[in-house]
Amino acid sequence: MLIQNARIFTMEGAVIENGWLETEGGRIRALGGMETIPAAAGDVFDAKGGSLLPGLVDAHTHLGMWEDSLGFEGDDGNEKTDPSTPHLSAVDAVNPLDRCFAEAREAGITTVVTGPGSANPVSGQLIAMKTAGRRIDDMLLKAPVAIKFALGENPKTVYHDRDETPTTRMATAAIIREQLLKAMRYRQKLLACRENDELEEPEFDYKCEALLPLLAREVQAHFHAHRADDIFTALRIAKEFELDAVIVHATEGHLIAEELAAEQAKILSGPFLCDRSKPELKNQSPVSPGQMMKAGLHPAIITDHPVVPVQYLPLCAALAVREGMEHDAALRAITIRPAEILHLENRVGSLRPGKDADLVVFDGDPLDFYAHTVFVAVGGRRVK
């Protein structure tokens, strides 16, 4: 496939004002200015001066976990029967045939992280996946990519209604620590058994097994945290257990931007194109990602679909620009920055030979409200 006459935003350097990009075998083969365009070896798409970007990346959604237009029958996001469920995987819950996947693709979103909600302090396993396909096994980029933890009002509300623990922030943090400590001791016993054949292995513990990659820093810890004090609790726990931590939402991040910058915190900012549905969202504002950026942070922007429908990811970035974020930073916040935060930048998020041919062409500025996608490809296969 050859795309020509495009304004190419590589997200790795200067914009190529009039260029071409060629794909082969699902990967980007080469790209450059129109003066160096090769002879077409396959299908040709004329972008007619439109903007070519890497497929957009939404680093926090619940896509396919809460299905569109369904109630309980399509709600597979929260197992509200146990406050600690690290062994639950989104792989076993996502419905790739939910029509919101098509809406994501049509909007140019080609990679998402999806998984459990925030009812439980230890919620389960998040996955990174492409938005094109019928079978989730064929769509995965990394599974798990992270273990989801939740702080603040959500666990309190769920278990207060059940008259069970946790009903306070103290108990929420304690449940997380208890589960991590159990997993650490489980790992220590397993390692001791490998070094000494005479020792008996610990009884199999599915929850602890699920946390072993987390403790080895092979997967991340994604902490749902809105309020400033909850954000600092997440960072405190992450330090205690040496976790590769990411703060999801960081609604009050702009109020503590300097402190977060000093911690070099990884931030997924959003959603902010929605109502303030609970007390901990009272300081929600689209100024947040721009103000964190000015403090030295490099946040990604997320929709938290279905809180904000996933197809409005570019609109969220545009709103952040209107409220003070630099245009280039906002584009990076929905492409290469989430890929970097997730350690997936070798596959997605920018245009470079060898990376996945996940591509989107807009007929104007990608952050213009009136711009349409005119071409979308996932893995070199055109899906729009």
Report the Cα 352 to chain-centroid distance in Å.
21
> Residue 60 has what pLDDT?
98
Q: How confident is the model at residue 297 (pLDDT cuts 50, 70, 90)?
A: very high
Q: How far apart are CA 133 and CA 206, in angstroms?
A: 30
SS3 301: strand
Overall average pLDDT of the 76-101 stretch? 97
Where does residue 189 rank: exposed (0-12), middle (13-18), buried (19+ CB within 10 A)? middle
Q: How confident is the model at residue 74 (pLDDT cuts 50, 70, 90)?
A: confident
SS3 300: strand
364 neighbors 373 (Cβ within 8 angstroms): no
pLDDT at 78 exceeding the cut of 90: yes
pLDDT at 301 exceeding the cut of 80: yes
Q: Which helix (H) or strand (E) holds 229?
A: helix 228-241
Query: What's the chain's average pLDDT?
Result: 97
CA nearest neighbour of 289 among 280, 281, 300, 274? 300
Q: How confident is the model at residue 42 (pLDDT cuts 50, 70, 90)?
A: confident
pLDDT tens for 206-247 read: 999 999 999 999 999 999 999 999 999 999 999 999 999 999
pLDDT tens for 332-343 read: 999 999 999 999
Overall average pLDDT of the 56-80 stretch? 92
Report the Cα 195 to chain-centroid distance in Å.
38
pLDDT tens for 44-60 read: 999 999 999 999 999 99
- pTM, 2 dp: 0.97
Q: How confident is the model at residue 358 (pLDDT cuts 50, 70, 90)?
A: very high
249: left (phi over 0), alpha (psi -120 to 50) or beta: left
Calculate the alpha carbon distances from 286 to 60, 294, 343, 365 in Å.
17, 14, 26, 20
Q: What are the tokens at 316?
A: 């969220």
For 238-278, the DSSP string reads: HHHHT--EEEEE-TTGGGGHHHHHHTT--EEE---SS---S
Q: How confident is the model at residue 72 (pLDDT cuts 50, 70, 90)?
A: confident
